[in-house]
Structure 1
Amino acid sequence: MKYVTAYGIAVVIFLIVDAIWLGIVARGFYSSRMGELLLDQPRWGVAAIFYLVYVAGLVYFAISVGMAQDSIAAAALNGALFGFFCYLTYDATNLAVLKGYDPVVALVDVVWGTVLSATVAGGTLFAMRTFGLLPQTSVG
């Protein structure tokens, strides 16, 4: 049950933080550098599948490690690594095979994926402790 709870919390954190990034902070950055590559409207179904599957990966590879080690830092570190490898795979593949894929976008996106994933993984464990969903011991 704690993994289902972690998943639910992680989905909420991920959606909020990524929506702020994509919708407010970096909106102009992406549209100015990727204009012709972007659809007028995102494919929301595909996006939903990505978010749900990606967060499941964060729970499995990062948040569960933090729970096992009773360490927010371990969750954040493993989240950062998971984000780095996933986002690098996506962006490096795009750079390798797509005409006009901007290397600056790739770099920013990899950094963002790393920070986002660390934040979600660490934040999920922090939230679970804060709301008494995990035993509170060391902050680690």
Structure 2
Amino acid sequence: MKRYIVLYLSTLIILVPLDFLFLGVLARAFFTAEVGDMLGEVRAAPAILFYLLYVVGTVVFVSGRADATWRSTLVQGGLFGLFCYATFELTALSLLRHWSMAVAAVDMSWGVVVTAISATAGLLAANWLAPQA
């Protein structure tokens, strides 16, 4: 149980700052230019719930597996990120008038990168702090 807690917390601690850096600094101008009037103030409760649940999914389906290695976690984390982010992006693209293919492509690519990195770094941290018995 301790290992899963360490795995969860380390993944969360890596994912959230990376996502804030990307959304708040690196890609902010791009998203504002593409869908500006659709963006509003961040609502804390749904955002927090997203991060808490997303990391549960990452641990359950990617890095918490008994046979997880850093290589498998990197690949499966990227795939998990692609599938999860694509679910939102392609739904938004199909329903929202001002959503663009460029936004969907950038955000899905980011989902691959951020999930692969945070899942793998979380696994490495857990291996160091709470090795498997």
- TM-score, normalising length from structure 1? 0.88
Question: Is the 2:3–2:126 contact (alpha carbons within 8 Å) kept by the matching residues of 1?
Answer: no
Opposite residue 107 of structure 2, the aligned amino acid is: D
Q: How many residues align?
A: 131
Unaligned 5+ residue runs, structure 1? 136-140
Q: Does residue 121 in structure 1 map to residue 122 in structure 2?
A: no
Deviation string, structure 1 residues 90-130 (Cα, Å, up to 9, x no partner): 1000111111111100000000001110001111112223x
In structure 1, distance between residues paired with 2:11 and 2:121: 8
In structure 2, distance between residues paired with 1:70 and 1:55: 16
- Where relative contact order (Cα < 8 A, 6+ residues apart) is larger, the structure is 2
In structure 1, distance between residues paired with 2:131 and 2:31: 38
Q: Deviating runs (4+, > 3 A) in structure 1?
A: none
In structure 1, distance between residues paired with 2:87 and 2:24: 23
In structure 2, distance between residues paired with 1:76 and 1:134: 18
Instruction: Give the aligned partner of residue 34 of structure 1.
Output: 35
Pick which of 70-79 and 116-125 moved more: 70-79
Deviation at 1:74, TM superposition (A): 1.0
- The DSSP-based 3-state class of the residue aligned with 2:24 is helix
Opposite residue 4 of structure 1, the aligned amino acid is: I
Q: Does residue 74 in structure 1 map to residue 72 in structure 2?
A: yes
- Give the alignment of 1:1-140 within 5 angstroms: 1-39=2-40, 41-65=41-65, 68-129=66-127, 131-134=128-131
Summarize the Cα distance change of 1:53–1:89 in structure 2 as closer, same or farther, 3 Å threshold: same
Indicate the RMSD between aligned Cα atoms, in angstroms.
1.2
**% identical aligned pairs:** 34
- TM-score, normalising length from structure 2? 0.93
Deviation string, structure 1 residues 29-88 (Cα, Å, up to 9, x no partner): 11111101101x1111110000100010000011113xx225111111111111110111
